[in-house]
Chain A
Amino acid sequence: MSNSHLFLKPGFINVPLQNGVGRYVSQLQRVVLKFCKNNGSSRGMREFIESGLVNFAKENPGVVVYLKPRRHRSAVIKAEYLNGDEQWMSCRNSTQEEISKWLNLLVCQSKNHTGTRIRKLWHTDHPSIQGPWTPFTFRDPKLNLATFPNEELAKPKDSDVSNHERLIELFKKQKLGDLENRRGE
């Protein structure tokens, strides 16, 4: 078993300011594509810039796109979010398709999720309609008026009728029978 999760920040799934209810604001603010003009490791990045970047910028008018050529360095995407998060992603030797997929992820997500352990795969502000349990829910109302210690409440629920009580019951029945007999006479 690994202990790697101990170093992850635990968190819940959440959305800033009810994003997507009524209106949607892309949370990606700025993206910087860093690449080298002649190194082979940024070839995919160069291809993406040539073919896909203009479309990407047109589809996402809310995202500022910067290009930053750097000599003899590998390709990198740096993203900045509206909540101030920064995300740095190495794109060394990645193809054009991979880069466009990663960019799509950056546009869709609301903050930098790397290094967080999602505690539950769902989250709600209202986990229960009837309200959380308290010691007084489902309580027998007759306990409200009872005085303690109470002999009746202390008896075990499955206690049987004792022979003593049975004998008294029989005796009472016999007495009643005697009375009726006398009336019959």
Chain B
Amino acid sequence: MSALKRVQQWATFARIWHIYNAAWQNPFHSSELIKKYLMGMHKPIYHPMNDCGDHVIVINSADIALPGDEWKKRVYFHHTGYPGGATWTLAWNLHEKDPTMIIKKAVYNSMDGNLQRRYTMQRLHIFPDENVPKELLGNVSNEIRQLRPMPKRLDDYPEKDVKEFPKVIDYPKDYVLR
């Protein structure tokens, strides 16, 4: 392989780093999206036999939003291998113990169980908040768009904006403000 072709090879198979903000996002729908980037399925050169997957940094995994009553109903099963070693953990409980676990398991389960899955998972970096090590953040060159718009809470607005917000109605005189 000539020097030029070798560089061409490096350029084509360069690993790109993506960042994904998981705040207010459904982890099970997001995992289908993240999986495509991890496996390199978004690239025109994709083939199951070539190693063209990218790195994905997931931030704010503590702020994921599960649909419906899934926090209470979704159960994560684990077996230690010993008799009586089975445990069932509810999603809210698991999230309390490790806020990165739900999204990690969602991505892991979204991929086919083959020999490549563990290595693909090594390219996924999940952080419960926005504190990403600088050496990782320096690699990032693309942001994956979120699936749903992030709603803004009232306490996120500056106080001035809240006070100047146009008044739509007047409260009735006998209305009790609590």
CB proximity to A under 8 Å, residues B116-145: 130, 137, 140-145
Expressed in whole angstroms, the minimum distance between the Cβ of B19 and any Cβ of chain A is 5
Expressed in whole angstroms, the minimum distance between the Cβ of A155 and any Cβ of chain B is 6
User: Chain A interface: which size bin?
Assistant: 20 to 34
How many A-B pairs have beta carbons closer than 8 Å: the answer is 60
Binds A, one of B66-74, B82-90, B99-107, B146-154: B146-154
Given known contacts A133-B45, A134-B11, A167-B166, A156 and B145 CB-to-CB distance under 8 angstroms = yes
Q: Which residues of B lie under 8 Å from residue A131 when comparing CB positions?
A: 8
Expressed in whole angstroms, the minimum distance between the Cβ of B30 and any Cβ of chain A is 12
Given known contacts A131-B8, A134-B12, A154-B21, A148 and B145 CB-to-CB distance under 8 angstroms = no
Cβ-based interface call for A141 (8 A): no
Q: Which of A134, A157, A168 contacts B166 (CB 8 A)?
A: A168
Q: Which residues of A lie under 8 Å from residue B147 when comparing CB positions?
A: 156
User: Chain B interface: which size bin?
Assistant: 20 to 34
Q: Which residues of B lie under 8 Å from residue A154 when comparing CB positions?
A: 21, 143-146, 150
Expressed in whole angstroms, the minimum distance between the Cβ of A142 and any Cβ of chain B is 12
Fill in one digit per residue for B30-46: 1 if any A CB lies within 8 Å of its CB, else 0: 00000000000001110
Q: Which residues of B lie under 8 Å from residue A150 when comparing CB positions?
A: 143
Give the 8 A-B CB pairs with smallest separation, nearest first. Answer: A171-B166, A153-B143, A134-B11, A159-B149, A148-B140, A135-B16, A154-B21, A148-B19
